Amino acid sequence: MQFAVIGLGVFGRACAFELQNQGNEVLGIDMDEQEVNKVSDILSHSVIADATDNETLKELNLSQFDGVIVSIGDDLEASLLCTLNLIKLPVKNLWVKAKTDAHHDILDSLGVENIIHPEQDMGIRIAQAMAYPMMKQYLSLGNKEYMVRIDIPKNWEPKTIGKIKNKHPYTPLVLVIRDKEILRDFDDSMIVQYPDCLIYAGLVEDLKLLAKYFIA
């Protein structure tokens, strides 16, 4: 797959390197030659370019990429202009880093579905990991929906999937991981217990209530 990352600061580089490590082809874009030089030996492609220029974006053929991340730092105008031009191209699977709540609101009004708040998201992740230690791994699906992995605590009383479902009907169970095996076929009669891992999906508030259910 092909991905582009626009803005190669700390966050942009981290995204680009991880996408590259996963075996994807990654194009890194930044106006700063020094930032581009930091990634040129690692990424598939890197280019010094003004991503606010519509013609430049067209020449880079970004509409053919599988996804684009806009990680432009403190320059709100540049971030918004770049994002607007990408929407007009258009591009698939657009993710944009927001610096402030106002920035977020403008991106939302432009129709951007995937808005990232790195510092805020990390703060939330740490706080939730401390409050709900059995729920350390989760993935944002957008619109306040998440997929989470719950590691059943050692002293938690075994229960059937059906009993958990009756208590929390709005958080569907997606997968069960048992003895490192991923189980997709299960029914309400299946008993889950330590050290099983459960993958759930749902709204963040529903998942918080679910997590409390697993606190022994």
* 154 and 135 within one domain: yes
- How far is the C-alpha of 28 from the C-alpha of 45, rounded, in Å? 6
Q: Full-prediction pTM beyond 0.95?
A: no
Between 120 and 102, name the one with better pLDDT.
Answer: 102
Model pLDDT for residues 131-183, shown as the tens digit of each residue:
666 666 777 776 778 888 999 999 999 999 999 999 999 999 999 999 989 99
pLDDT at position 121: 73
For residue 188, count other CB atoms closer than 10 A to its CB: 12
Q: Which domain holds residue 135?
A: 121-213
Q: In this predicted model, what pLDDT tens digit does every residue of 187-210 receive, in sequence order?
A: 999 999 999 999 999 888 898 889
CATH code of residue 27:
3.40.50.720
pLDDT band at 36 (very low <50, low <70, confident <90, very high): very high
Peptide bond into 90 cis (omega under 30): yes
Domain final position from 116, 144, 168:
116
- Kindly state whether residues 99 and 150 are assigned to the same domain: no
User: Which of 2, 1, 63 shows the shortest CA–CA distance to 28?
Assistant: 2
Is residue 40 domain-shared with residue 90, that is, in the same domain? yes
Residue 195: which of 213, 175, 180 has the closest Cα?
180
Q: Identify residue 216 by its one-letter amino acid code.
A: A
189 touches 130 (CB < 8 A): no
Residues 127, 209: one domain? yes
Do 142 and 82 lie in one domain? The reply is no
Both 126 and 71 in one domain: the answer is: no
Residues 12 and 111 reside in one and the same domain: yes
- Both 23 and 90 in a single domain? yes
Query: Are residue 72 and residue 127 in the same domain, yes or no?
Result: no
Residue 99 confidence (pLDDT): 86
Which of 76, 99, 116 represents a domain boundary (last residue)? Answer: 116
Q: Provide the CATH number for the domain around residue 141.
A: 3.30.70.1450
Residues 96 and 40 reside in one and the same domain: yes
Sequence-ordered list of residues with C-beta below 8 angstroms from that of 16, at least 6 positions apart, any chain: 3, 5, 8, 26, 28, 39, 43, 69
- Among 94, 116, 138, which residue terminates a domain? 116
Task: Please tell me the total count of domains within the chain.
Answer: 2
The predicted structure's pLDDT at residue 133: 66
Assess contact for 3 and 27: CB atoms under 8 A. Answer: yes
